[in-house]
Amino acid sequence: MIVRLALMLFLQNAVNGVLVPMFSVRLHDMGFTPWQVAVCSCANGVLMMAAPLMGQIADRWVSPNKCLAVCGLWCAAAMCAMVYAQTFSAMVAISFIYWLGSVPMSLMCSSIAFSLLEHPEKDFGKVRVWGTIGWMTPPWVMMALSLLMGWDSHASMTPYLYLGAGLSLVLGAYALTLPSISPRSQGIASVAPLQALRLIRGKTFASFTLAILGWSLVFPFTIQGTPVMLNELLFQAGGKWATGWLPAILTLGQINEIGTMLLFPLALAALGKRGSMLLGLGAWLVTLLMLSAGKPLGLIVASLLLNGLVITNFHTAGQLYLNAEVTGDLRASVQSLLFTIQGFGLMAGNLTFGALRDAIPEGDFESDLPTIFFIGVLLTALIYVVFLLGFHPGKAPPRQAIDPVPEPA
């Protein structure tokens, strides 16, 4: 089962790996303003805020396998349509349509994995590492094709979007071959997202929530800003030929993530969930400090190598913490709670980044992105202090169940 779930996560991450790494660079090269890029990019966060309803569907009404199959078909159609989106209004519409399928696709994969793994804390890292490999595979394919065939990986995304559409179709079909997970129908008194929301009580979970929200607010700074900064520095160093290596360079963080994910069980045993998450947040703070320097190229490239520590130790440990807080039939909705928190932060962060870039005079690259990254440093430092002081999961007994939501009067 571990092998089958690993293939599922490989395909799901490969679909997003086609689009996300180069999305901001492509829109920039199409002539979009920083604010327009931000609006297109915030579609992910807006749709993530609807995750509780998606979790409700998976928990109570429809099999996650069937949901994943539909999402695969939906995303394939959206990626094909994106080929023809050349204006701002068209790109905004297609971006929202794509993420309307991609967000629940990711949610369903997490739900299926946690439901079918016999020992999630022990085995999830082995499965998740193949998601990382899936994410980094398309950029290398993109770079190889660009260099061998002479394609412009910035201006001509058409072959890669069709590649992503094909991968999405394969994922949808593959979902129907996995063991079916039956929904658990209950009355309105046990609506899953409402029960999951009752977890937000006490200092520990409140600190966890604030840390996730704060990280999500700053993360768009790197998703939008790092590719643009690297593209500019690569062009300064070697011209247009050097920028052809950008898709592959952006995967350095995922290469590091493979190693940290394989070692994650040892790190978790040694540090615990709290220690692992503090290590991840610390690595994130150092990453932003490096990016705030703005140059040289080697320092900015090196900052990507800390990405593995951030994703593995902060987010994977966080997923395991959430999974341990509730009973098995609420797993999809608990994961959706994490999606909602992240969604709000991603939406606000993308729009904030676009507004800040628009506020800086055009062409002032030397002070543009480094200044914005330093703002991220200050926010992340505050997040770290709040999490350090407030997150102590070992001090409270684990919850075996959640109190039911009262019947409406």
pLDDT of residue 1: 80
Q: Is 153 inside a domain boundary?
A: yes
Could you give the C-alpha distances from 379 to 223, 226, 311, in angstroms and in order? 16, 18, 18
Q: Select, from the ranges 123-137, 178-192, 268-282, 365-379, the one with the highest average predicted confidence (pLDDT).
A: 268-282
Residue 335 has pLDDT above 50, yes or no: yes
**Could you report the per-residue pLDDT of 169-190, keeping only the tens digit for each?**
999 999 989 887 776 555 444 4
CATH number for the domain harbouring residue 382: 1.20.1250.20
pLDDT of residue 300: 92
Q: In terms of Cα–Cα distance, which of 125, 121, 103 is closest to 6?
A: 125
In this structure, the chain runs to a length of: 409
pLDDT of residue 376: 92
Give the lowest-confidence range in 24-28, 218-222, 327-331: 327-331
- One-character DSSP codes across 1-45: -HHHHHHHHHHHHHHHHHHSTTHHHHHHHTT--HHHHHHHHTHHH
Percent above pLDDT 70 for the chain: 81
Its domain, for residue 381, covers 2-182+190-395
Cα separation of 178 and 173, whole Å? 10
- b/e per residue 346-367 (b: at least 16 CB within 10 A): bbbbbbbbbebbeeeeeeeeee
pLDDT band at 160, cuts 50/70/90?
A: confident
pLDDT of residue 407: 34
Number of domains in the chain: 1
Q: Is 405 inside a domain boundary?
A: no
Could you give the C-alpha distances from 194 to 50, 55, 189, 208, 397, in angstroms and in order? 13, 11, 9, 18, 22
Phi-psi region of 214 (alpha: psi -120 to 50; beta: other; left: phi over 0): alpha
Kindly report the number of other CB atoms within 10 A of residue 3's CB atom: 10
Q: Is 251 inside a domain boundary?
A: yes
Q: Is 406 inside a domain boundary?
A: no
CA 394 remoteness from chain centre: 27
At residue 314's C-alpha, the angle toward residues 45 and 191, to 5°, is 55
Residues in Cβ contact with 182 at an 8 Å cutoff, skipping those fewer than 6 apart? 63
**Could you report the per-residue pLDDT of 289-313, keeping only the tens digit for each?**
999 988 888 999 999 988 888 888 8
Kindly report the number of other CB atoms within 10 A of residue 62's CB atom: 15
Cα separation of 156 and 114, whole Å? 38
Task: Average the pLDDT over 147-167 and give the result.
Answer: 74
Q: Is 197 inside a domain boundary?
A: yes
Q: Please, are residues 153 and 367 in contact by the beta-carbon 8 Å criterion?
A: no
Q: Is 409 inside a domain boundary?
A: no
Q: In terms of Cα–Cα distance, which of 360, 383, 355 is closest to 370?
A: 360
Q: Average pLDDT, whole number, for the chain?
A: 80
Q: How far apart are the first and last CA of the chain?
A: 45
**Could you report the per-residue pLDDT of 34-74, keeping only the tens digit for each?**
899 999 988 888 888 876 666 666 556 777 888 889 999 99
Cα separation of 353 and 351, whole Å? 5
Residue 128 has pLDDT above 70, yes or no: yes
Q: Is 225 inside a domain boundary?
A: yes
CB-based burial of residue 53 (10 Å sphere; 0-12 exposed, 13-18 middle, 19+ buried)?
A: middle
Q: In terms of Cα–Cα distance, which of 158, 155, 123 is closest to 5?
A: 123
pLDDT band at 191, cuts 50/70/90?
A: very low
Q: Is 371 inside a domain boundary?
A: yes
Residue 111 has pLDDT above 80, yes or no: no
